[in-house]
A = this chain, B = another copy of it.
Amino acid sequence: MGDMQFKSSVETTLKVVGGKWKPVILCHLTEGIKRFSELKRDMPDITQKMLTQQLRELEDDGIIDRKVYTQVPPKVEYSLTEYGATIKEVLDVMSVWGLKHQQKIQSSAPR
């Protein structure tokens, strides 16, 4: 773990799943294919701009797939790519540790 490669590969992962919204988006997409409007409904606090931006970045990283139906009104579906699904185990490990940490904080900072 003490090497240089380690540092930059962790940073790479943080770029892909870090930030305020990407974990949440990925979380929802693990439930299956979602339309843009569905994702927006699932995350009432995200702005359209941020949702679009984060989805584009995930798409560029090959994590999600974007399927556009050329029709009026437009319809766009997002889903995890096969490759993107591999990020789930990373998120799972992060979730498990974070949950334990939350509980630790709870028990050590009462009052």
Q: Which residues of A contact B (CB under 8 A)?
A: 1-2, 5-14, 16, 18, 20, 23-24, 27-28, 30-31, 61-62, 83, 86-102, 104, 108
Q: Does A97 lie within 8 Å of B90, measured CB to CB?
A: yes
Task: Give complex CA distance A93, B89 in Å.
Answer: 8
5 A-B pairs within 8 Å (CB atoms) are namely A2-B31, A5-B95, A5-B99, A86-B100, A93-B94
Min CB distance, A82 to chain B, in Å?
12
Q: Which of B2, B28, B83, B92 contacts A2 (CB 8 A)?
A: B28
Q: Does A94 lie within 8 Å of B13, measured CB to CB?
A: yes
With contacts A7-B24, A23-B7, A62-B104 known, is A98 near B1, CB below 8 A?
no
